[in-house]
Amino acid sequence: MNAEKIFKREDGSQVKITAGFHIGWTDNAPQWYTTVYTREKGKKNWLGVYSGDDYQYRKLSDQEREKFVLDAKLKHCTMEEIHEVKMQFWNSLKPEQ
For the stretch 30-64, pLDDT in tens is 889 999 999 999 999 999 999 989 888 999 999 99
pLDDT tens digit string along 61-81? 999 999 999 999 999 999 999
Nearest Cα to Cα of residue 73 among 17, 5, 12: 17
Residue 26 contacts residue 12 (beta carbons within 8 Å): no
The CA-to-CA distance between both ends of the chain, in Å, stands at 21
In whole angstroms, give the CA distance from residue 19 to residue 45.
20
Whether 14 shows a pLDDT value over 80: the answer reads yes
* Angle made by CA atoms 90, 36, 11, in degrees to the nearest 5: 115
What's the CA gap between 25 and 81, in Å, rounded? 29
3-state secondary structure of 6: strand
pLDDT higher than threshold 90 for residue 24? no
pTM listed for this prediction: 0.88
